[in-house]
Structure 1
């Protein structure tokens, strides 16, 4: 006689087909809105990041990204552009590359914030190792780099980063 017992998974995931909407983060009519479900899917965030944790991380990511683009956006508004999408730019798949880069910057900032804030959360109950902490720090830095590159691409400035050794 054999028994196969299946325990519920330790990590709850939210499949893309989940009809429960997570909402959107908006920052005025000029900036694109950020769909939380799309961000969760794009950045591979599972159910361990609850909507209550996700929302403030995304709000901060939107604020940080807009803060970096504030002077540039003001100049574009003074030129008469009604939104970021209205600023002349290459379109990929029918959408302004500036909008895509704004979204990428917000997504990457949010993921980096979440990695840093919840790096001590381990659903398996195992003790964390130092190399896991270093891997998380590296991952957060890679996301911050990608966010910075997206912003710099919108601004039209070089991505070059110089580090003193």
Structure 2
């Protein structure tokens, strides 16, 4: 009898308390917290999760680069150091930044693991995860728009 289990989980090799840092202005991303928040199990290896998070950080930082540059021109060196305004506190902005990164990383992980199991049940699971990918992308956009204070809805008359 073989000890091999198809689709079994790989042991987690993550370093407890591992963080990914980008530009010093932005907060770091706690990989363990991200894994817990998005319910990503150890079948997603630490290296693949890190790749997804780095790609997410690049995208979110690009979306917020004009805002960050304006704050740095005002003399603020970190997001936590930016003043609260009538719309958001710096803690709320930090939450929205982390949420945007988590959602972008979650969407990428879902996209990459859609074809993991090519059996009939795997195809059904891929179909079931499609709305989740869209939900992650929507939540990412909403977090960025909330951060920037722009509307979540774009309306165009036809």
TM-score w.r.t. length of structure 1 = 0.79
> Which runs of 5 or more residues in structure 1 are unaligned?
1-6
Aligned counterpart in structure 2 of residue 37 of structure 1, from 21, 25, 32: 32
**In structure 2, how many angstroms separate the alpha carbons of the residues matched to 1:87 and 1:157?**
19
- 1:28 has 2:23 as partner: yes
**In structure 2, how many angstroms separate the alpha carbons of the residues matched to 1:48 and 1:162?**
41
* 1:100-115 aligned within 5 A: 100-115=95-110
**In structure 1, how many angstroms separate the alpha carbons of the residues matched to 2:135 and 2:20?**
24
**TM-superposed deviation, 1:25:** 0.9
The equivalent of 1:11 in structure 2 is 9
Aligned counterpart in structure 1 of residue 126 of structure 2, from 92, 109, 133: 133
* 1:8-87 aligned within 5 A: 10-12=8-10, 20-21=15-16, 23-87=18-82
RMSD: 2.8
Aligned pair count reads: 151
The equivalent of 2:139 in structure 1 is 146
**In structure 1, how many angstroms separate the alpha carbons of the residues matched to 2:25 and 2:123?**
43
> Which runs of 5 or more residues in structure 2 are unaligned?
none
TM-score w.r.t. length of structure 2 = 0.83
Is contact 1:22-1:51 (8 Å) kept?
Answer: no
The equivalent of 1:4 in structure 2 is none
